[in-house]
Amino acid sequence: MFKEIIFKEDAINKPEKGRLPTSIAVLCGVTILALCTLLVGALISTQRHSEGLQQVVSSMLNKSGVENPVTAVLLNFRSYDTLLEIAVLLIVAIVMLPQATVSKSLSLIRVQQSADPGLIMSSLLRFLAPTLIIMGGYMLWTGAYSPGGAFQAGALIAGAGILIFTNVQYQVNMQSFAFRALLSIGLCIFILSGFAVALQTGQFLEYPQKYASAIILFIETAATVSIATTLLLLYLAVAGTQEEFNHDA
Amino acid sequence: MSFSFFLDIFLIGGSLTMAWLCLFSHDLLKAITCFVCMGLFVTLMWIRLDAWDVAIAEAAIGAGLTGALLLSSRRGLKKTAAKKESGEKRSGEKKSGEQDV
């Protein structure tokens, strides 16, 4: 059913293999079209609902500790969902961790001065990486007032990390203790602060109103670090940089 | 017909075209580029829907990170393909050598 993978460089004209017969293709097309028509019809015929939960959220917004409704829902009203989301991310990271080929005792990041990254790479890194990291911090901070937040900030910082570790001079040791700590800090802090606020309010993850804003920022900061590390790990695991770490160790 | 109507039509048409090109292109690099372009179109659509949070996440993860991931997987696939090919060649030489003996 799926086409063979062909790289442009080594395939000029390969005969097409594995194409669906025309009749089946037409049948599939008709079925999908009918389903789409039904879906669009259902959407159009559905009566537009009232405001939904928007009013409830905006009426409770001043108690949440933040001014952005999205952040309020994510980290206060429905923080349990976000907690589980972070846990899912950690599981993904654990699954994606490459096999242990590097000693645990080696440091987190190794700098190889001898390798030449090239002029473009090094200058790009010099300008872009600090900017991206500052932008990530800004995103995290601004999440309380306007669009932004932990996930967006984490993605930006992960982008900076990819840029840094695409450079041949820098390599990260994914087996080291520090890397694992960075991966799991988000979930740990989230659960710990969930229990800590339970001491005060008696309910898991129910923040005391006075400190809500500070607690949310604290959790978000830890979550940002973990999200950034997880996304970076996804890239590094696929790119297979760990083999090189070992080679010239 | 206002400007925003044409903008919406452009965004819908653009993203659908990019999705089509991505799915039906034979060249992996072209498919990945089209995927990233589709991500950017979808980002603009989220902005049109006033969902800035989702737009930022889509731009950073949907277009940027996934694009980088796909590109590096492509490089990995190429590496294994090259390895396989060289392995086959070597075994082929051995076989022919044996026949000679």
Question: For A88-127, how does the pLDDT look when each residue is reduced to its tens digit (9 = 90+)?
Answer: 999 999 998 887 667 777 778 888 777 777 888 888 888 9
The answer to whether B28 contacts A8, with C-beta atoms less than 8 Å apart, is yes
Q: Which of A99, A84, A103, A87 is nearest to A183 (CA)?
A: A87
Contacts of A7 in chain B (CB under 8 A): 27-29, 74, 78, 81
CA max distance for chain B: 81
Q: Which contacts of B76-83 are long-range, i.e. CB under 8 A and separated by 24 or more positions?
A: B76/A238, B76/A239, B76/A240, B77/A5, B77/B28, B78/A7, B81/A7
**pLDDT tens readout for residues B51-89:** 888 898 899 888 888 998 898 888 888 888 888 888 777
Which residue out of B34, B72, B83, B84 would a mutagenesis test of the A interface target, given it has the greatest number of A Cβ atoms within 10 Å?
A: B72
Categorise residue A230: left if φ over 0, alpha if ψ from -120 to 50, beta otherwise.
alpha
Q: Which residues of chain A have pLDDT under 70?
A: 1-18, 49-51, 100-101, 241-249
The residues spanned by each domain of chain B are 3-100
* Bridge partners of residue A245, in order along the sequence: none
Answer for the pair A210, A247: CB distance below 8 angstroms, yes or no: no
Place of tokens 């659960």: A191
pLDDT at B99: 46
The answer to whether A238 contacts B76, with C-beta atoms less than 8 Å apart, is yes
